[in-house]
Amino acid sequence: MAKTPSEKLYRLIRALTPPEKRYFRLFVRGKPERDSKYLLLFDTMAGMEAFDDEACCNIVYKNQPVESRKYSELKAYLYDLVLKSLQSYDEQSSVDYKLNHLLQSVSVLFKRGFYDDCRELLNKAGKIARLYESFTHLLEIIRWEKHLAYTRMDVDFLHKQFEQLEFAETQTLEQLRNNAMYRKLFFQVYTTIKREALHRGEDQMARLQKLVQHELLNDPDHALSHKARVLYYRTLNLYHYAALEPEQFYESGKKLVELLESHPHFLRESLSDYIAALSNFILSCGLLERYEEVQATLKKLRLLTPITEDDRRKIHRQYYTNKFVLCIFTGAFEEARQEMERCQLEAAQFDPHDYETASFYFQYCCICFGCGDFGGALDYLNQWLNQPRTVEREDLQSLARILSLILHFEMGNTVLLESLLRSATRFLQKKNRLYDLERRFFHFMSELMRAPATRDQKRVFQKMKDDLNLFSSLPDARVLLQTLDLAAWLDGKLSGQSFAESVQAKWAIRQQNIRRDPD
């Protein structure tokens, strides 16, 4: 028997929910031979906060000498047993498992000549398959209907039902092909956007426009099923986001959310598309300054009950990512700090192999910065800088260097600023990332260091603010300015306000404008 890595078994057992653990203990009742040992190993690993293979072995074998092969076989056997219990557990709730079970039961009964019982199960399976648009199972059910009638030489049934079965089969095949075409279009749009995320230009938009001009995307009525219609709106929603069309992004997102919510039985089976739709809708509402809808959708996302561990991770990540963006944008930094602490407590419950923390570090840094905790902000920024580099993270290098300079300035580390400024300039020149805004900001910091007097510093701050108005519309400045409100920081320095007060003042003015012009 092949060896099962100890860490793999430990991670599987630790990932089980309390109901899954209870089910496993019921599932293994009456199993022969190794009962006490594999149950003891299961309970030992389930209770371990940190994995210790040697300790597990000593507990199971009472500190007696044991061959490593024997222990490895025990772990492999337990791993296989846990997987079987999970398959059995999922069978109770998963539509696919239910349909497979019904069709396997039909096969068992058919071999033994219980044809009436077969038809009864086929009717039951057909209702479930049609409700959940399980087209492959529907085709198998129709095949069994024909085969059952032929075996029984039920000519009368075939004569009356044959045309209906043929129509159902043709319709199901058409729905299956239609769904496959929408899925293909969705992934073509998705990969075109993701593959060139950092190089959006005319060529990419031309390819996207050609894809969305497909006749299937002209009208939602071309979608022959609920699942196909969901893909229709997901594809257009993704396109409108990439094409920077906020109104269409919002409208397609709203229709997608409404469509998903109109079929709640699908949501009881899978939440993945719904979580993504809510997250995108929050983004579209934010772009259009519809903040009441942002708050309502955030609450809806937070109250979701996950079906899978992947759901739990996605709900956690999407909720906190969007909540932090809203708090940072509105200046609610103390609320964000409380949410950050809750986020970190929840994060500790996830498997570290599957939970990526680095994506939160920039937001943590901005939250601490808004709370006036410059040391904490610098700690999170340094944690981000110490992460292994990826293409996506390279795009944030200039922001990280600018944040570092601002934080050291706020902390009064004037001795370090000059060397940090030289280092940041060299780094970005080497990476070919020194754009106009970054170059101007570095020059501004150099001037600031040479202007120790408050009046002189205000003159430098005003000059940087004027320059910022010129550069803020450039594409290369978007990532930086969307993550950190540099203008609010400069306004605060000119007015004597804290960064948080400056952001809150801008938010109050924006709210007044929205109330005056709700459209």
pLDDT in 10s for each residue of the chain, 519 residues: 445 556 888 888 888 888 888 888 888 876 554 457 888 888 888 888 888 888 888 888 877 776 667 888 888 888 999 998 888 887 777 898 889 999 999 999 999 999 899 999 999 999 999 999 999 999 999 999 888 888 877 777 777 777 888 889 999 999 999 999 999 999 999 998 877 544 456 778 888 999 999 999 999 999 999 999 999 999 999 999 999 899 999 999 999 999 999 999 999 989 999 999 999 999 999 989 899 999 999 999 999 999 888 899 999 999 999 999 999 999 999 999 999 999 999 988 887 766 777 778 989 999 999 999 999 999 999 888 887 654 445 557 777 888 888 898 888 887 788 888 888 777 767 765 555 677 778 888 888 887 777 777 888 888 888 877 776 655 555 556 667 788 889 888 888 899 999 999 988 888 887 766 655
Per-residue pLDDT, 1: 43
* Predicted local confidence at residue 259, as pLDDT: 98
E strands along 329-434, which residues?
A: none
Dihedral of alpha carbons 106, 110, 116, 117, sign: negative
**For 250-281, b where at least 16 C-beta lie within 10 A, e where not — what string?**
bbbbbbbbebbeebeebeeeebebbbbbbbbb
What pLDDT, on a 0 to 100 scale, did the predictor assign at position 395? 53
- C-beta separation of 85 from 24 below 8 A: yes
Give the type of residue at 472. S
Nearest residue to 379 via CA among 352, 407, 402: 407
**490 burial level (CB within 10 Å; 0-12, 13-18, 19+):** buried
Task: Give the count of beta carbons closer than 10 Å to the beta carbon of residue 384.
Answer: 20
Chain length of the chain: 519
pLDDT score for 391 = 41
Closest CA to 138 of 179, 109, 108, 110: 179
| Beta-carbon contacts of residue 462 (< 8 Å; ≥ 6 apart) | 494
Q: Domain ranges for the chain, please list them.
A: 6-91
Tokens coding 199: 């190089």
Bin 26: left if φ > 0, else alpha if -120 < ψ < 50, else beta.
Answer: alpha
